[in-house]
Structure 1
Amino acid sequence: MQAGEYDLVVHPSNLWLTIHESIGHATELDRALGYEAAYAGTSFATPDGLGTLRYGSDLMHVTGDRTVEHGLSTTGWDDEGVATQSWDIVRDGTLVGYQARPPDRRAHRRRALERVRVRRLPGHVPIQRMANVSLQPVADGPSTDEIISGVEHGIYVMGDKSWSIDMQRYNFQFTGQRFYRIEHGRLTGMLKDVAYQATTTDFWGSMARVGGPGTWGSAVPSTAARASPGRWRRSATAAPPRCSPACAS
């Protein structure tokens, strides 16, 4: 298959990693403010774009959640005894929120932000840790088969493998484990060595269809390292399949 632009249908088993890298890390408030620049990098989603930055298409609704059942970042209360929350990060394609932690209250006041208080580990310098960040399904959205049936020429991607993304979480490339050719609404055979690449806003801005509640993938565990010396923490991501034109090779 030749490199070029194709309609790309991404299964939750692959899409979770794209969400984690291009949305989850990009919307950590300390990173967006530049506090992680020396170690993890910064973010293109800076606070001056809060409420105006077009992160994706109107179908894009991404939440941060410390309350979802079985989420690896789920907890009842933070270390200050404040109940945790679920909140919008991207709503109708626009950046509307960040992930933040209690000691960032000065940053909250400076940026007029009120976001979830994040539990931290005792004995460590407090840092922001990622919540359960997920792309929400569309209430009356299609099934996976219905999404595929609407594609004339495209690729269906399943499973996560390797990724590459810049320090601002803007330019990226992702691969997968299984790839299928889509012709006239049907899977017609497997492909190999496929990678899709885009900028974050182009990728999410081209999202044309999002699966319904029945397609929402179960939470996928992931780990993320932050701070120096590095510390690991697990989080979870869930998503329905999505379809859009994207660059693939």
Structure 2
Amino acid sequence: MSADGRRSREAAASVLRWVAFYTRGLSPTDAAERQDELLSDLHEQTAWAESAGVSDARLARSIRRRALLGVPADVAWRQRLAWEGRAPGRIRLRAHEALLLATAAVGVLLAVGGGFVVARVVRALLIGDIGYVPRDSVVIGALAVASLFALVLLARPATRVAGAALLVPASVLLPLLAAPVLYVVSASAVPVLNAATWWPAAALLIGGGLALLCGACAATSLERRRAFRATGRAHPHAPVRPEGSAHARTR
């Protein structure tokens, strides 16, 4: 590790900000227990890295990677507290919000996975393992970029339908195309894929399931948008006034 450990400290600080965000509004006991658990994990990971001689940059990447992979578990933990009545009702996830969150997670997974494959192709070219660019790697790179763009679209209600729909083809194609490219550029992937003869069928099932999830998000987002337009573009959480109210009679 470097002398100052700046990168790993910044990574740990970002993780602490995340845990502070998703524990807000909880009882001091629940929030403190979750934060103490995270601090303990960070301490153990840092101690292991120091004993193993892991560089500060690598430790920082590991901390961020673990935090990213742990987001679904963090959200599930917070939701469990909401179901038990131990979290404020206003942050409980509605069905559409949960679907939207899952779709965004798919987008992150596709963007990161596609980026990883492209990075392995670039590395193989630089060190001379291959002398050509696999054709499917170009498609994978385009799908990874499309997934990033879809995440931007998902962030805005007005473009949410397009963002979810854009993830549908990426969900189907990336699992199918990634394995053959990794077979060419990664020596460690060869024995794994040789043993996993079932992978093409599994990739179809996984991709089909992810595509259905994203398609459902696009469909529900479109339905909600149409409903809002039909009611005069009212905000989805705006209170509904009775027809006989004084306000209604003056319109």
TM-score (norm 2): 0.24
TM-score (norm 1): 0.24
Q: Which has the larger radius of gyration?
A: 2
Between the two structures, name the one with larger relative contact order (CA 8 Å, sep ≥ 6): 1
Structure with higher helix content? 2
